[in-house]
Chains A and B, each alone.
Chain A
Amino acid sequence: MNLTRRHMLLLLPAAAIAWKYVLAGTPEASPNYTMSQHWWGMLIDLPKCIGCGNCVRACQAENDVPDGYFRTWVERYHVSDYDIENPHVDSPDGGKKGFPLSKEEGGKNFFVPKLCNHCADSPCTQVCPVGATFISPDGVVLVDKTYCLGCRYCVQACPYGCRFIHPKTMTAEKCTLCYHRITKGLTTACCEACPTGARQLADLKNPNDPIHEFLKAHSVQVLKPYMATHSKVFYNELDGSVR
């Protein structure tokens, strides 16, 4: 076939349109969702957290997380008046069944929910030798179960301890930021179940998302900023003793 100038002129725009769709990317299960239009994160409003454990239970119910393993969990901090560098931290069963009464009196006491920070420069995805874990184009750190070897490099690399090896499949598991929900226009299970609004899903690419106003008006911090992971889980009024 001779490729004439006329053919070329017809082909080029078609190729450009096709390439645009390749770049945008659309998970087949959710036809109205375009990955390139989102950049997901989460806001944790610490003064609102009451340590009820609803998020932990919701996460387990939504994602079939095995008993004794956690994609999200709640820690209770007790910072004594005399030793702010060494807080007492407990998290009985991840906070799934609530917290017993504190033994320590006085000091500073508060709850800190933890989950995958969906870092924009995540250490865990960099160490995977087979390309089984990756940052999706919309900013969610995911694991491809069929590709994972279970080598545990990523479990060790995560500075936040957010990964584990599933006892049955022996592959890496972690919070998916309820990817199956957010691509359908729902919020995550933990945010849905949080009774006080301490957890809020945030779409940083959506100019109308309330996260932008919140970040401007509050002193917000991420965990371990010195690791330069560019975490996208923002903690409002985070205490300096939180590790």
Chain B
Amino acid sequence: MNAFKNARHLFRVAAVFVVGGLAFVGVRALLVPKSFGQYGHYRGNAIAEIAARPVNYAGHQACEDCHTDVLEKKKSGKHVHVNCEACHGPQAKHVDDPGSVQPVKFDTAVLCVRCHEANIAKPKGFPQVASADHSNGLACDTCHQPHSPAITAGETTGGTK
């Protein structure tokens, strides 16, 4: 059995590997987050962290719970499917504290043309105006009420369409 006469150095190498392997497993267990691999090759808790971000746009349901009068007004007009925050901007803070946080009233001369300024790339059926010719810089709400924009008979007609 000469082959195993000097086997002790083999055991030493084996011991180094075993200790190294155990250290690797131990350190890895400490460093890899618990939820890693819960759903796949990533940290499972990341999903909940991303989902926990606060909301800025409250959603039209929250607006309509209180502002039923505006909802009624919108139903008679073409803007019925335009959500509140499409024009009024993010209002989650206003929903949380309606008393102290008030939406800013905006300039309709700036707001309306975002959608209604004439542009060749817009769908042909969409109502568009060249604002400079249409109203001479007058604010749109001089004639149109934004929640129900059609000009009814008897009201002032400032625009040509």
Give the bracket for the number of chain A residues in contact with chain B: 35 or more
Considering only residues 98-155 of chain A, those with a C-beta below 8 Å from chain B are 98-99, 101-102, 105, 109-111, 131-137, 142, 144, 146-147
Mostly, the A contact residues are loop
Q: How far is the CA of A99 from the CA of B79 in the complex (A)?
A: 22
- Stretch of B7-15, B21-29, B38-46, B133-141 that contacts chain A: B38-46
Q: A134-B41, A195-B82, A195-B86 are in contact. Are A181 and B120 (CB under 8 A)?
A: no
Q: What are 8 inter-chain pairs, A to B, with CB distance below 8 A?
A: A25-B47, A33-B51, A78-B121, A109-B121, A144-B46, A179-B47, A183-B51, A186-B59
Considering only residues 184-229 of chain A, those with a C-beta below 8 Å from chain B are 184, 186-187, 189, 192-197
Say whether B83 contacts A134, CB under 8 Å: no
Say whether A195 contacts B46, CB under 8 Å: no
Name A147's contact: one of B43, B48, B89 (CB within 8 Å): B43
Say whether A27 contacts B47, CB under 8 Å: yes
Say whether B121 contacts A134, CB under 8 Å: no
Say whether A99 contacts B119, CB under 8 Å: yes
Give the bracket for the number of chain B residues in contact with chain A: 35 or more
Residue of B nearest to A184 (CB): B55
| B residues whose Cβ falls under 8 Å from a Cβ of A | 36, 38-44, 46-57, 59-60, 79, 81-83, 85-87, 89-90, 114-115, 117, 119-123, 126
Complex interface: chain B residues within 8 A of A131 (CB):
36, 41-43
Complex interface: chain B residues within 8 A of A33 (CB):
51
Q: A62-B90, A111-B121, A197-B81 are in contact. Are A144 and B42 (CB under 8 A)?
A: yes
Residue of A nearest to B83 (CB): A192
Residue of B nearest to A105 (CB): B120
The smallest C-beta distance from B9 to any residue of chain A, in angstroms, reads: 38
Complex interface: chain A residues within 8 A of B51 (CB):
27, 29-30, 33, 179-180, 183-184
Interface centre among B36, B47, B52, B90 (most CB of A within 10 A): B47
